[in-house]
A and B are shown apart, each in its own frame.
Chain A
Amino acid sequence: MLKVENLTVNYGYINALNNVNFEVNKGEIITLIGGNGAGKTTTLMSISNLVAKESGRLTFKGADITNLPPHKLVKMGLSHVPEGRKIFPALTVYENLIAGSLGNTDLKKPQINELVQKMYQLFPRLKERCDQGGGTLSGGEQQMLAIARGLMMDPDIIMLDEPSLGLAPIIVEEIFELILKIRDEGKTVLLIEQNASMALSIADRGYVLETGRVVLEGTGKELLNNSDVQKAYLGD
């Protein structure tokens, strides 16, 4: 579904990504893991064209999307939930959700309302807090809101950037269960995580990034049992 070929990104003279290749198939949960500065976030940012690419080719559903601006990507069904949640704190939960649907101009009012109800089903906590300011939610709820907002544009693939960032372990578990649920709804998930054990345990396949290169790839299980991965990321 989404194919990344020879992606290279430079920040000035610093090389952030070097010939990264990976592929996401429909209905999969794919995870990119790696330490700080490995280039995980940069990968997502360059897919949704928020940073400039040096070289490389991106295809999504068979179409070349290498140089498409973000608003066109959204229409094609690619949603990016940025790192650090970035919800709109002064808007209510409901308004945040509506903002998520703005980018996809194909959506009409009844469809948007339907999507809101669907989000409330998927995230019952957001329903309870639908008229509360986004900034007053707890960290976990804010993350749920960010994911729900990303789903509001009715994407085919949703890219999540560190959804577990700064959350208590029990909340992290809840978030990962939600990710599984989202997959079961028929969405494809590209997940970027530092929490490697959790991410690999729910992922169909995974890629390990190190200083801008893909150094390892395999199914979630394979990577979990790989001794290098265990040493570097799982702390065994």
Chain B
Amino acid sequence: MKHFIDTIKSTYGKYKVIVWIICSLLLLIFPALIPSNYVMGVVCRILFYATLAGSLNVINGYSGQMCIGHAGFFCIGAYIEAILATQYHINFWVLLLVGGIITAIIGGLIALPTLRMQGIYLSIITLGFSEVVRLIALNWTSVTGGAMGVKGIKSPTLLGFTLSSPKQYYYIFLVIGIVFIFVTNRIINSRTGSAWISIREDELAARSLGIEIKKYKILNFMYGAFWAGVMGAAYAPYTRYIDSTYFSLDEGFNILSMVIIGGQGTLIGPILGAAVVNSLTELLRSFSEWRMVAYAVLIIAMMWLRPQGLVGASDSVLAGDKMKKKKIKVLAKEEK
């Protein structure tokens, strides 16, 4: 097995550029290869949840705060898009940003009073927040349509084309996902990202090293909420209809489980988690209620056998040889 992995790695090292080109081409023409709209729908869900779980991973995995009410942020983004698009006919692409920014501001407001809280206490607050948002969506009938939801959300257009089917939506989710991974990767490797990780590891030590805990925690929440808002705004026109039942606590736990199964604190983790959870949901669809049991068993088994998630810590093959690279970098510097 080890030999096999090493062979793959060395081959990859040799043909890195070619592998990347082939992968990107595959990603580009993927919808053309898959004729079924149903399968494309599942792929879209995976891509969509990969980014959504990724945004939660920024909060839970990188700064070690425990947010389980991510559905609340998602809900805000979705309703902003739905309402502004149906009533004021604002462009979808503008609303992606608007949804993200407003959700980020609300994320910052939630982070302010909870700065002193950690672990389970913060979880309870975020859980409550998520439910409050859902209840507002359900009861503020004049704005959100109440139990009727918002109907007839227009599909986005790009250069005169209307993007409505999963095949077309695939590209929207793909582009958002790539932008998310790219930007997040840059942030994680910057001073801000290192500060988040230090806070996760030991808050008191981070404070004594002069890291502004408050600032970085708020930033962290705002950044995570921003992408949840963007995904909400992207999701609303995809389903064309939203109501408050989409954003229940179940949804929040669903996103959380993808992060945990995939591996917190890694960029690949949530993508893999989204892929595993969503494919499993589809594969087990014929078992109806038993699906939930299988799902629960999976989570329990994961917690038992691999609490760090599928990708997990640095020992995993999927996480790559991050450590090795760093050592080489350091040694190279010395030789200079």
Q: A residues touching B (Cβ–Cβ < 8 Å)?
A: 48, 50, 69-75, 80-82, 86-92, 94-95, 98-100, 102-105, 113, 116-117, 120, 130-131, 149-150, 153
Chain A residues contacting B313 (CB-CB under 8 Å) are 90
B residues 243-266 near A (Cβ < 8 Å) are none
Interface of chain B residues 190 through 217 with chain A (CB within 8 A): 191, 194-195, 197-198, 201-202, 204-212
Distance of A69 Cα from B214 Cα, bound (Å): 11
Cβ of A88: which chain B residues have Cβ within 8 Å of it? 197-198, 201-202, 205
Complex CA–CA separation, A56 to B250 (angstroms): 53
* Complex contact A99–B194 (CB within 8 A): yes
B323 pairs with A104, CB closer than 8 A: no
The answer to whether B323 and A131 have CB atoms under 8 Å apart is yes
CB pair A102 B211 closer than 8 Å: yes
Please report the total number of B residues contacting A with Cβ < 8 Å.
24
Q: Which residues of B lie under 8 Å from residue A73 when comparing CB positions?
A: 210
* Complex contact A98–B194 (CB within 8 A): yes
Chain B residues within CB distance 8 Å of chain A: 191, 194-195, 197-198, 201-202, 204-212, 313, 323-324, 326-327, 330, 333-334
Given A86-B202, A102-B198, 7 further pairs, Cβ under 8 A: A70-B207, A86-B205, A89-B201, A99-B206, A102-B211, A103-B210, A130-B330
Instruction: Given A113-B333, A130-B327, A131-B326, decide whether A103 and B205 contact each other with a Cβ distance below 8 A.
Output: no
B323 x A92 contact (CB < 8 A): yes
Which residues of B lie under 8 Å from residue A116 when comparing CB positions? 330
B208 pairs with A48, CB closer than 8 A: yes
Q: Which single residue of chain B is at the shortest CB-CB distance from A89?
A: B201
A74:B330 contact, CB within 8 angstroms: no
* Complex Cα spacing A89 to B326, Å: 17
What are some 26 contacts across the A-B interface (CB < 8 A)?
Answer: A48-B208, A50-B204, A72-B210, A75-B210, A81-B208, A82-B204, A82-B205, A86-B204, A86-B205, A88-B197, A88-B205, A95-B194, A99-B206, A99-B211, A102-B198, A102-B209, A103-B209, A104-B210, A113-B333, A116-B330, A117-B333, A130-B330, A131-B324, A131-B326, A131-B330, A153-B209
Q: Within the complex, which residue of A80, A94, A100, A104 is in contact with B326, where a contact is CB–CB below 8 Å?
A: A94
Q: In the complex, A102 Cα to B215 Cα: how many Å?
A: 13
Q: Given A91-B201, A99-B198, verify A86-B208 contact (CB < 8 Å).
A: yes
Residue ID in chain B nearest A48 by CB atoms: B208
**Interchain CA distance A104-B195 in the complex, whole Å:** 12
**CB atoms of B210 and A70 under 8 A apart:** yes
The B interface is mostly helix, strand or loop, or mixed, namely helix
* A32, B207: Cα distance in complex, Å: 23
Residues from chain A with a CB closer than 8 A to the CB of B198 are: 88, 91, 99, 102
A59 and B268 CA atoms in complex are apart in Å by 49
Tell me the minimal C-beta distance from A92 to chain B in angstroms: 6
Residues of A within 8 A of B209 (CB): 74, 99-100, 102-103, 149-150, 153
B191 proximity list for chain A (CB < 8 A): 102, 105
Chain A residue at minimal CB-CB distance from B212: A71
Decide: B194 and A131 in contact? CB cutoff 8 A.
Answer: no
Question: Could you say which residues of chain A place their CB within 8 Å of the CB of B323?
Answer: 92, 131
CA distance A163 to B180 in the complex (A): 43
Give the nearest-CB partner of B197 in chain A: A91
Q: Is B208 a contact of A117 with CB atoms below 8 Å?
A: no
- Nearest-Cβ distance from residue B54 to partner chain A, whole angstroms: 20
Indicate whether A153 sits within 8 Å of B210 (C-beta atoms), given known contacts A105-B191, A130-B330, A131-B327.
Answer: yes
Please report the C-alpha to C-alpha distance between residue A102 and residue B191 in the assembled complex, in whole angstroms: 6
What is the bound-complex CA distance between A102 and B208, given in angstroms?
Answer: 11
Are A102 and B334 closer than 8 Å at their CB atoms? Answer: no
- Determine the distance from Cα of A80 to Cα of B205 in the docked complex, in whole angstroms: 9
A29 smallest CB distance to B (angstroms) = 20
CA distance A102 to B330 in the complex (A): 18
Residues of chain B within 8 A (CB-CB) of A130 are 327, 330
Closest approach, in angstroms, between the C-beta of A95 and any C-beta of chain B?
8
Whether the pair B202, A50 counts as a contact (CB closer than 8 A) is no
- Give the distance to chain A from B330, nearest Cβ to Cβ, in Å: 6
CB-CB under 8 A from A131, the residues of chain B are: 323-324, 326-327, 330
Could you tell me the distance in whole angstroms from the C-beta of B195 to the nearest C-beta in chain A?
5
A4 to B333, CA, bound (A): 42
Q: How far does the alpha carbon of A69 sit from the alpha carbon of B211 in the complex, in Å?
A: 10
Alpha-carbon gap, A102 to B192, bound state (A): 9
Give the distance in Å from the alpha carbon of A16 to the alpha carbon of B198 in the complex. 30
Max chain A C-beta neighbours (<10 A), residue from B197, B210, B324:
B210
Q: Which residues of B contact A103 (CB under 8 A)?
A: 209-211
Could you tell me if B334 and A50 are in contact, using CB atoms closer than 8 angstroms?
no
